[in-house]
Amino acid sequence: MEGMSNIVKQVAKILTGIIFIYGIYIIVHGHLTPGGGFAGGVILAGAFILLILAYGSSALSLKKEVAGSSNTESIAILLVVILALMALLLGVKVFFSNFLPKGTAGELVSAGVIPLYNIFIGIEVAGAILTIFLALVIFKEESSQ
């Protein structure tokens, strides 16, 4: 799959950076404004998909890309389970409890363990959607040869 024309490539380069920062903002402020882990994760995946569509799959090395995204999503979901298991040792000894201090509501550093869950679930969702998309692109590349 070839890329698009030169104007599309330059504009996509700028837009992908803005969308990436916006996705990280939605993830990190998930406990204060609408958004959270899932919304920010799909926005991050959308930024990467935009870049792949603009530059074409001939400008990437697809094996390394899909290895990178599937490794990222596996590590992120492993960290979610480890964070949930750590609640068995600290505070109220129940699986999945909210064991970090809660702080004052409305600050950025508050609500215990919820911002950490937001970040890791966001990375996991982005990695999963990117892996699905890259699997389709690799299939179309290999079957058209």
- Contact set with other proteins (CB under 8 A): 26, 30-39, 42-43, 45-46, 49, 53, 66, 70, 73-74, 77, 80-81, 84, 96, 98, 102-103, 105-106, 110-112, 114, 117-118, 121, 124-125, 127-129, 131-133, 135-136, 138-140, 142-143
* 23: amino acid identity, one letter: G
Cβ of residue 4: shortest distance to other proteins, in angstroms? 14
Question: Between the CA of residue 135 and those of 67, 70, 111, what are the distances in Å?
Answer: 11, 11, 37
14: Cα within 13 Å, side-chain hemisphere: 5
Cβ of residue 82: shortest distance to other proteins, in angstroms? 12
Residue nearer to other proteins on the CB measure, 5 or 141:
141
Sign of CA dihedral 29, 33, 37, 39: negative
Cβ of residue 10: shortest distance to other proteins, in angstroms? 21
Assess contact for 53 and 140: CB atoms under 8 A. Answer: no
Residue nearer to other proteins on the CB measure, 5 or 34:
34
Q: Which residue in 37, 21, 42, 22 sits closest to 111, CA to CA? A: 37
Residue nearer to other proteins on the CB measure, 88 or 110:
110
**Spatial distance between the Cα atoms of 145 and 49, rounded to a whole number of angstroms:** 23
Cβ of residue 25: shortest distance to other proteins, in angstroms? 12
Residue nearer to other proteins on the CB measure, 13 or 63:
63
